Copies of this chain bind each other. A is one copy, B any other.
Amino acid sequence: MTDVENRRVILNARPVGVPGPEFFNIETAPVPTVGEGEFLVRNAFLSVDPAMRGWVNDAPNYSPPVPVGDVMRAIAVGDIVQSRHPDYAAGERVCGTFGWQHFAISDGSNVMRKLLPEEESMSLALGVLGLNGLTAYFGLLDVCSPKYGETLVVSTAAGAVGSCVGQIGKIKGCRTVGIAGGPVKVRHCLEEFGYDDAIDYKHCADIAVELAKLCPDGIDMYFDNTCGPISDAVFENLALHARIVVCGTASIQEWDPLPVGPRVHRQLLVARARMGGFLIHDYKDRIPEAIEDLSQWVGTGSIKAREHILEGIDSAPGAIRMLYRGENTGKLVIRLD
């Protein structure tokens, strides 16, 4: 690719459920021209996030679906190479919703944050120092209000968000139990992410029984990234005044029609528990405080982040399905050449 070409991933049809590679085309377009009040970003890393499934499905969601024929919406991080915007200068690094493409024009409205000069890693701004870390930070601290000595259970515990949740839980003095799929991820939970215990849900006869053993006083907090049977098992073990944050629903393939499962009302009632939906977009104004804490924890090694790096934009179309199949081992990002 030359510097005057922009390779980009286009959504070519409306998928139902998790979009496989057949729903995307890669096309080459000219690098866009920078207008007044705009700047041009050259992306270095593209992010792959569970939320992207929701962004392409035609279902009620927190943002309108990506139109068919458009560049796939995605978080990315890169260098500003040209600017006609008073608040952004060439040479600055930015993270934002720049799409699955090499070059993006921005007027600043889709910027999540500027990277600080001391940030050595660009890709971390897509993970632990980006949407994933922020999600873990506010979802756990703001919605669940962890207290010292409480028991925290995390699903997709070795994933980009989950691993960060577990480690913040440890920083706050909680007992942490991770639920992950397969022995490799369980090992990551225990050896890298400091969970006190971890359950391999793919090789566990009865998750609810296992949780009861590992959490004899019940589960005070549950960070739910999955919904489905894992969530059901947690709900059988709630402690009094438990807090559940619903952050993702990875185990559910389709939401139309609504899938059925055990009704949670009685369990919430008996435990006087609270269950709340969480979306990081509601915390835009508080990003700096979180990045400051997270950077410090990453710097001191209290939070370890694992990355799974795919090479080149050609790997993008298959990446969402890979994520939903759990084939990645760490935050999934795409490095551009």
Q: Report the bound CA distance from A61 to B269 in whole Å.
A: 9
- Which residue of B has the minimal Cβ distance to A235? B258
B275 touches A276 (CB 8 A): yes
Minimal beta-carbon separation of A206 from chain B (angstroms): 15
Asked, given contacts A274-B276, A275-B276, whether A269 binds B246 with beta carbons under 8 Å apart, the answer is: yes
User: In A163-205, which residues have CB < 8 Å from any B CB?
Assistant: none
B60 touches A265 (CB 8 A): no
A265 touches B227 (CB 8 A): yes
B270 touches A273 (CB 8 A): no
Minimal beta-carbon separation of A281 from chain B (angstroms): 9
- Which residue of B has the minimal Cβ distance to A282? B272
Minimal beta-carbon separation of A248 from chain B (angstroms): 8
A4 at the A/B interface (Cβ < 8 Å)? no
A106 at the A/B interface (Cβ < 8 Å)? no
Minimal beta-carbon separation of A142 from chain B (angstroms): 12
User: In A46-63, which residues have CB < 8 Å from any B CB?
Assistant: 60-62
Minimal beta-carbon separation of A230 from chain B (angstroms): 12
A255 touches B266 (CB 8 A): yes
- Which residue of B has the minimal Cβ distance to A255? B266
Residues of chain B with a CB closer than 8 A to A246's CB: 265, 268-269
Residues of chain B with a CB closer than 8 A to A277's CB: 265, 267-274
Minimal beta-carbon separation of A219 from chain B (angstroms): 15
Q: Which of B61, B249, B263 contacts A265 (CB 8 A)?
A: B249
B269 touches A279 (CB 8 A): yes
- Which residue of B has the minimal Cβ distance to A266? B255
- Which residue of B has the minimal Cβ distance to A249? B265
Q: Report the bound CA distance from A272 to B263 in whole Å.
A: 19
Residues of chain B with a CB closer than 8 A to A269's CB: 62, 246-249, 277-279
A252 at the A/B interface (Cβ < 8 Å)? yes
Q: Report the bound CA distance from A278 to B266 in whole Å.
A: 10
B262 touches A262 (CB 8 A): no
Q: Report the bound CA distance from A282 to B271 in whole Å.
A: 11
Q: Which of B247, B258, B276, B282 contacts A263 (CB 8 A)?
A: B258
Minimal beta-carbon separation of A266 from chain B (angstroms): 5
Minimal beta-carbon separation of A109 from chain B (angstroms): 21
Asked, given contacts A272-B276, A277-B274, whether A263 binds B266 with beta carbons under 8 Å apart, the answer is: no
A123 at the A/B interface (Cβ < 8 Å)? no
- Which residue of B has the minimal Cβ distance to A259? B263
Of the listed residues A247, A255, A282, the one surrounded by the most CB atoms of chain B closer than 10 A to its CB is A255
7 inter-chain pairs at a CB distance below 8 angstroms, sorted by A residue, are A62-B269, A252-B265, A258-B262, A260-B260, A260-B261, A273-B276, A275-B275
Interface residues of A (CB under 8 A from B): 60-62, 224, 227, 231, 246-249, 252, 255, 258-279, 282
> What 8 A-B pairs come out closest when comparing CB atoms?
A268-B277, A258-B262, A269-B277, A274-B276, A227-B265, A261-B263, A260-B260, A272-B277
